[in-house]
């Protein structure tokens, strides 16, 4: 009995010795001051932020399945590595020459990942006709597979990398519809059934594929491409997800990716069903916490609450406050001269202002231009109507309205209370209908 026990202990000890923790060392020449190394383990979604001391950082980790790891270092680089728990790797990187070199057990695989000049499509390729676009995507994938074959890497990695290359090579495929429409300046565009059949073939809805760094973005874009057909976008999204996405992990990820943006951009009013859908389908605790915190910030911007105030100069230096505008409805345009979409709305804003001359509504332009001279030059052209004010870098108003992108339109009642914290744009037919209804009261 004693000899058997000793033999068993010996086997356990030998097994433990053979499965040592992998050691991953990064040596950085010309390191960024204060920058950390961030590692995201794609299969487990574990994130590590590690201090870099004198240009060197060493990470030890064991007990994980072989997987891709996204490595980001300050502003210098963001690249994918492939790590195994019982093998070592050293990565040398010069931030000035941008040259990588790997040594150690995993050197061949990671030199391939870091040094290979992979084929890819450019933005303009999305302007091709459908057949040529599909052919270009296929050609890129074939070229990248040839590079992988030429590298002569271990079979286990090669099999995994083939799927990884598919996601890389076809990354722009789900964006064809929107890119083609933008490039050719079309009001609408719909690819053929051939395109959608290819997209469905590529967009495999399998949560295990999140081990590939590009899968989350690819599957999100693929689903959104199939969803929107010109109706209520939020309802179309929820209907599609319930009808076509059975994998719980994919459903959770894509629901968070899309609906977080919907609520953070437009607020709580009118989004009760969206919020309930989010909580029903999103399972990641961190994403839920982030969403709930964002919703709490929007509570102050619900309809009926007092609006955050402003007090800004007009072109003549006269200060105009929100309080001075009480007694009429107020439609606010938060914009800047450098913002293309903002400039695109200006002609519609002018038409709106002309349509309601003498009515109980003020139209206010709040410019967030840092360069006041650029704003003054634009106002002095004389074609902009309404009350034009320069807010500049006084970002308290924008912060309180949770404005992360412009243009943003806000509609207030006669008492300065919020009607819509994210109002429709001047170019939307909904805007004049809304104003007409208000002026009847």
Range of lowest pLDDT (24-33, 89-98, 219-228, 389-398): 389-398
E strands, 272-377, are: 311-313, 319-321, 329-335, 361-367
Map out the domains of the chain as residue ranges. Answer: 20-109, 123-300, 311-439
Give the helix/strand (H/E) hosting 285. helix 285-298
Distance (Å, whole) CA 441 – CA 438: 6
Joined together, the tokens standing for residue 109 give 């695989």
User: pTM of the predicted model, to two decimals?
Assistant: 0.85
Digit-coded pLDDT (tens) for 203-244: 999 999 999 999 999 999 999 999 987 667 899 999 999 999
CATH level 2 (architecture), domain 311-439: 3-Layer(aba) Sandwich (3.40)
CATH level 2 (architecture), domain 20-109: Sandwich (2.60)
Give 62 or 283, the one with higher predicted confidence: 283
- Contacts of 155-158 spanning 24+ positions with Cβ under 8 A: 156/66, 157/66, 157/82, 157/109
Q: Which percentage of the chain shows pLDDT scores above 70?
A: 95
Q: What is the per-residue pLDDT for 20?
A: 66
Buried b (16+ CB within 10 A) or exposed e, 383-397: ebebbbbbbbeeeeb
Reported confidence tier of residue 288, pLDDT bands at 50, 70, 90: very high
Q: What is the per-residue pLDDT for 21?
A: 79
Region 402-411: mean pLDDT is 94
Mean pLDDT of the chain: 92
Residues 6+ away with beta carbon under 8 Å from 138: none
Distance (Å, whole) CA 339 – CA 367: 11
Reported confidence tier of residue 63, pLDDT bands at 50, 70, 90: confident
Q: What is the per-residue pLDDT for 232?
A: 79
Contact 93, 28 (CB under 8 A): yes
């Amino acid at each position: 009995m004693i000899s058997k026990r000793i033999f068993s202990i010996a086997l356990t000890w030998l097994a433990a010795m053979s499965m040592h923790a992998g050691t991953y060392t990064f040596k950085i020449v010309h390191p960024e001051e204060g920058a950390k190394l961030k590692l995201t383990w794609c299969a487990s979604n574990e994130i590590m932020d590690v201090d870099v001391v004198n240009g060197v950082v060493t990470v030890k980790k064991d007990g994980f399945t072989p997987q891709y790891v996204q490595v980001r270092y300050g502003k210098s680089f963001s690249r994918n590595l492939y790590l195994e728990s019982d093998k070592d790797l050293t990565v040398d990187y010069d931030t000035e020459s941008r040259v990588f070199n790997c040594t150690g057990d995993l050197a061949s695989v990671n030199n391939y990942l870091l040094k290979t000049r992979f084929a890819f499509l450019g933005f303009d390729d999305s302007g091709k006709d459908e057949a040529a676009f599909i052919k270009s995507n296929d050609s890129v994938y074939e070229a990248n597979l040839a590079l992988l074959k030429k590298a002569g890497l271990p079979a286990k990695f090669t099999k995994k990398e083939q799927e990884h290359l598919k996601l890389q090579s076809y990354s722009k495929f789900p964006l064809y519809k929107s890119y083609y429409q933008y490039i050719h300046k079309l009001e609408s565009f719909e690819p053929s059934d051939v395109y959608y059949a290819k997209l469905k073939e590529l967009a495999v809805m399998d949560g295990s594929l999140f081990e590939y760094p590009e899968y989350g973005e690819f599957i999100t874009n693929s689903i959104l491409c199939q969803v929107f057909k010109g109706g209520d976008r939020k309802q179309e999204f929820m209907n599609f997800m319930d009808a076509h996405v059975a994998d719980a992990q994919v459903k959770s990820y894509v629901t968070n990716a899309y609906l977080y943006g919907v609520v953070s951009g437009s607020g709580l009013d009118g989004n009760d069903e969206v919020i309930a859908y989010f909580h029903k389908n999103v399972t990641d605790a961190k994403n839920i916490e982030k969403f709930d915190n964002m919703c709490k910030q929007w509570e102050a911007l619900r309809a009926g609450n007092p609006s955050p105030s402003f007090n800004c100069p007009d072109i003549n230096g006269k200060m105009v406050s929100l309080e001075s505008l009480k007694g009429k409805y107020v439609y606010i345009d938060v914009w800047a001269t450098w913002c293309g979409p903002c400039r695109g709305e200006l002609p519609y804003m002018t038409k709106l202002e002309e349509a309601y001359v003498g009515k109980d509504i003020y139209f206010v332009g709040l410019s967030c231009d840092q360069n006041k001279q650029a704003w003054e030059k634009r106002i002095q052209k004389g074609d902009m109507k309404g009350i034009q004010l320069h807010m500049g870098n006084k970002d308290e108003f924008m912060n309180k309205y949770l404005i992360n992108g412009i243009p943003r339109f806000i509609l207030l009642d006669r008492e300065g209370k919020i009607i819509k914290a994210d109002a429709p744009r001047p170019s939307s037919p909904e805007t004049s209908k809304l104003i007409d209804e208000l002026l009847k009261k």
